[in-house]
A and B are shown apart, each in its own frame.
Chain A
Amino acid sequence: MADGKSHNEKFEELCAGYVLHSLDAEGCRKFEQMLEHASEEEQKLFESLASAANQLAFTVEPAKPTDSVKKRLIAEITSQKEKQEIESVSDKMGASESGVSETEDTEFNWQAFAISVSFALLIVSLSLVFYAFNLRSQVSHQKTQIVQLKNELQKKEELLSMLGSRDVDMVIMSGMEVNPNGYGKIIWDPKKQQALLQVSNLPPTPKDKNYQLWIINDNKPVSAGVFATNDKGVNFFKIDKMVQANEQQSANAFAITLERKGGAQQPTGDMYLMGNMKSSSE
């Protein structure tokens, strides 16, 4: 030993201090190291010295603590027991939960993830396609509506334009025996050789038939065109080029008959409307 003491002497010295609890931290550490490798004889020495030190307790006057100490002790022990029971239960629950989560964490299912993402993308794509299709259909429908409105507007503009013209004639046509409620008008611009035909309350045109407009001059009917009415019964027709313009200027009547599809050379069917130029001007 560095201080000249034998191992046994050092053991005894430290042991005496140790059993009296008078060693500092370093001394305690040294002795406990020695005790770990102590011989059987040294172990016995330690035990007997500890026992001798404990005999000193009998020289101390026993004293009675207050009853509150026992109560506090029992309360603390009870509290510890309850806490341990709660921790034990939560540990078990935690273990079972962590078992699941560990599996999830360590074995992340990329395949399932990829399938989920693909499925989500498919849904999004289909939704977009459906939306685009719907949008396209909507645009198409709106385009048709725009065209229809444009046509209608154009017709109205033409009608207004023709009505605003200085030299127009108008012939009012009345219903005949086969359709007494029918009526119509022809607004006719002789200079531009254009006319507007308006008919009302005419029965819808059968599929294999057409209504045909006739200009009658000196009892000679000349075809001015064919048309078909719809279910609404109110129809405007524009006639861009009136046939036989020279003769038309001297036309004295207009008539509408129901003819075969495409029209006839001469009127053969029932007459639905008729208007007299002279009578209308009168």
Chain B
Amino acid sequence: MLIVLLLATIRKAIRGNSDDELELIKRIKQRESKALEELYDLYKRLLFGIIVSIVKNREEAEDTLQETFVNIWNKADSFNEKRGNVYSWIVTLARNNAIDRIRSKEDKTQQKQSANICEPLFSLAADKHDPLKTTIFSNRAELVNKALLEIPQEQREVIKIAYYRGMTQSEIANYLNIPLELVKARSQLGMMKLRHILGEIISTDG
């Protein structure tokens, strides 16, 4: 069952909106809580991984995950399939919630102390008994990691800090002890290159 759900998630991430996924959102808009449960089962592992990588605390990550699905429930009406796929919308909501949470804490000191640039190693220790799932995720992760490696190191560094740690550009400038304008430039150049490298995936991703 898990494999099927995971495959569905990846397929949707790659191919864009599927009828099933859109149907779930439609049912959520109609206040069908069962549809939200189904969506949760589909995305919980992926989103929880993203959130944990940002908030660095499982308990808070679980609260954030719950908050994210409550947002999905309450903001379902604002989802417009013409402007993006369900996957992108949900991932963005989860990241925004996680980043808002760490920023609201304003615990900058703690961030600096533990801020080895966290390049998330794609170790699927928890899923080692699911070889197929591991392979699929590995392939996708490998593709994105490969794309990242093609980006100059200083640009990659800024993107990773921003994405995985949720720092603002000003915080990154302070953290790396470089001018803000340089952070902005590296961020811009890095993302434009990543977009270019992942072009094929992005064009099918919607």
Contact = CB atoms under 8 A, between A and B. Distances in A.
A54 B47 CA distance: 11
Nearest to B2: A64
A77 B96 CA distance: 21
B144 A59 contact: yes
Q: Which one of A59, A78, A80 has the highest number of Cβ atoms from chain B below 10 Å of its Cβ?
A: A59
Interface string B18-56: 000000000000010100110011001110111011000
A271 interface: no
A24 B169 contact: yes
B172 A76 contact: no
Interface residues of A, number: 44
B195 A52 contact: yes
Secondary structure type dominating chain A contacts: helix
B104 to A, nearest CB: 13
Interface residues of B, number: 75
A61 to B, nearest CB: 5
Nearest to A84: B31
Interface stretch (A43-51, A106-114, A135-143, A217-225): A43-51
A49 B195 contact: yes
B201 A55 contact: yes
Interface string A221-239: 0000000000000000000
Interface string B123-158: 111110000000001001101110110000000000
A65 interface: yes
A47 B192 contact: no
Among all A-B residue pairs, the 3 with the closest Cβ atoms = A16-B191, A22-B162, A62-B45
Interface in A79-100: 80-81
Contacts of B188: 9, 12-13, 15-17
Contact of B49 (A20, A63, A73, A80): A63
Contact of A17 (B83, B140, B143, B169): B169
A69 B58 CA distance: 11
A124 interface: no
24 contacts: A16-B192, A17-B184, A20-B187, A21-B96, A23-B168, A48-B202, A50-B84, A51-B206, A56-B144, A56-B164, A57-B49, A58-B144, A60-B53, A60-B164, A62-B127, A63-B48, A63-B61, A63-B126, A64-B44, A69-B65, A70-B37, A73-B36, A73-B70, A81-B33
A161 interface: no
Contacts of B81: none
Given A48-B195, A77-B73, A54 B87 contact: yes
B163 interface: yes
Given A16-B187, A20-B163, A76-B70, A59 B88 contact: no
A74 interface: yes
B84 A47 contact: yes
A60 B50 contact: yes
Nearest to A65: B48
A19 B190 CA distance: 12
Interface in A139-162: none
Contacts of A54: 87-88, 91-92, 205
A17 B159 CA distance: 9
B66 A20 contact: no
Contacts of B99: 21
